[in-house]
Amino acid sequence: MAAAAAAATSVTAKQKEMKGLLLGRYEIGKLLGHGTFAKVYHARNVKTGEGVAIKVIDKEKILKVGLTAHIKREISILRRVRHPNIVQLFEVMATKTKIYFVMEYVKGGELFNKVAKGRLKEEIARKYFQQLISAVSFCHARGVYHRDLKPENILLDEDGNLKVSDFGLSAISEQIKQDGLFHTFCGTPAYVAPEVLARKGYNGEKVDIWSCGVVLFVLMAGYLPFQDQNVMAMYKKIHKGDFRCPRWFSPELIRLTTRMLDSNPETRITIPDIMNNKWFKKGFKHIKFYIEDDKLCSHSQSESDSELEIRRKNTTSLPRPASMNAFDIISFSRGFDLSGLFEEGANGGARYITAAPVSSIISKLEEIAKVVSFTVRKKDCRVSLEGLRDGVKGPLTIAAEIFELTPLLNVVDVKRKGGDRLEYEEFCNGELKLGLQSLTTGKVADSPDLRSDNNEYSDTNR
């Protein structure tokens, strides 16, 4: 009786946890789906009113099957691939028994549901395919390979934009063996590349391109390129690259599809060649975005010279910068720099003291940005500089914030918010240092970067 009562109490507690506020922040709604180790619920952020999807993972189950490292890697991957066409991970929370992934809620459902009704119009299919390739290209540039691309793992938002999801089978470049290839057999049979079936090692980028080719075919044809009731017979067709394009495929589309579904990975088309393809480029718009305060933001339309001049003049009426408190001043010393305890990521940083007014500091930062062709965004006493080069960790993004040390002195606090650490250090020791030299009375302190890039997003409880 006691055991039964305890079990009932446990069930009731779980029900309350799911129906009530999750950690005092999210109101849990209906169940959206479930798998072996996780359930996904719709939820609402009670503070902002924003709808989110929360993936609830059972800690005990993943410990039993040894998937702890797998979950940590998935978190790391999702933090690495923030893009408008990829489902966003907002935060990760944990209790003693559960791990919670708070993710973007995509209202439009799976792309599969659209394709199940029949083939799409060419313009719509092309738009989805362009967004898919943009997202996959972004992942590959960051050393992430999805390995399970299919319409069921592609969602659509309420505006009809594509969002790649489910990175559970993804791999990162750090997992590549000495031969430069992956060896894990994974994927969905109808979308899996022939070299994966051969079990001799494969290139993650080429495998994703094959899957994208199958997705393109399905969008335009309304059925799979390799079909057979017998799975082994289907595998033989995949191995040979044995398929036919329907009569409504244009010659350009046939050439593109054939090159993507080339059974030889060595001669299979590359992402840059896909993006230069005539059929692909029709109506294609490159997405420009940036990360601000850990959120995805879209670039606004370019301003005219007169608008920029007005904004420059308005910098003279900027608000007074925030004063630094005792903790901030103490942390100037290397030995007392405790920022690593509070900030996620390995950002590094530098601080400069200057007697120059805020408007002059901002003007100088704009000059430096112009020299290296960086984009500038300003908000009060904060300036963000973003580079154009799209490296493994995305474009170099730097935040420079101005604080008041005394009524006559200001501090310029510079930190890396995104991009490669070495590129950041080169910029700080070169253009930034030279540019600020005329304004500063001295460099105050460096914040050493102590954590490795591999562990940047390994924590499960932010």
**Cβ pair 154, 163 in contact under 8 A:** yes
Q: Which residue has the tokens 């007169």?
A: 306
Residues 11/15/21/26 CA torsion (nearest 10 deg): 110
Please say whether the beta carbons of 85 and 74 come within 8 A: no
Active site residue 420: no
Q: Find tokens 């907002």 and name the residue.
A: 90
Please report, for the chain, how many H helices and E strands are present, in that order.
16, 18
Residue listed under structure tokens 């329907």: 246
Distances (CA, A) of 301 to 287, 290, 298, 304, 395: 12, 14, 9, 10, 19
> How many other C-beta atoms lie within 10 A of the C-beta of residue 131?
24
Report angle CA 219, 134, 85 to the nearest 5 degrees: 80
Asked if residue 55 belongs to a known ligand binding site, the reply is: yes
Any residues with CB less than 8 A from the CB of 133 and at least 6 apart, and which? 212, 271, 274, 275, 280
Spot the catalytic one: 148, 208, 262, 420. 148
- 235 to 147, 196, 217, 239, 366: CA distances (angstroms): 17, 11, 17, 6, 57
What the block records as the tokens of 78 is: 């999702």
Q: What is the C-alpha end-to-end distance of the chain, expressed in Å?
A: 40
Q: Residue 143 region, left (φ>0) first, then alpha (ψ -120 to 50), else beta?
A: left
Q: Give the 3-state secondary structure of residue 424.
A: helix
Distance in angstroms (rounded) separating the CA atoms of residues 299 and 309: 19
137 vs 204, 208, 286, 292, CA distance in Å?
Answer: 12, 10, 12, 22
Say if residues 398 and 385 touch (Cβ distance below 8 Å).
yes
Known binding site: residues? 55
User: What residue numbers does the annotated binding site for ATP cover?
Assistant: 55
Just list the catalytic residues: 148
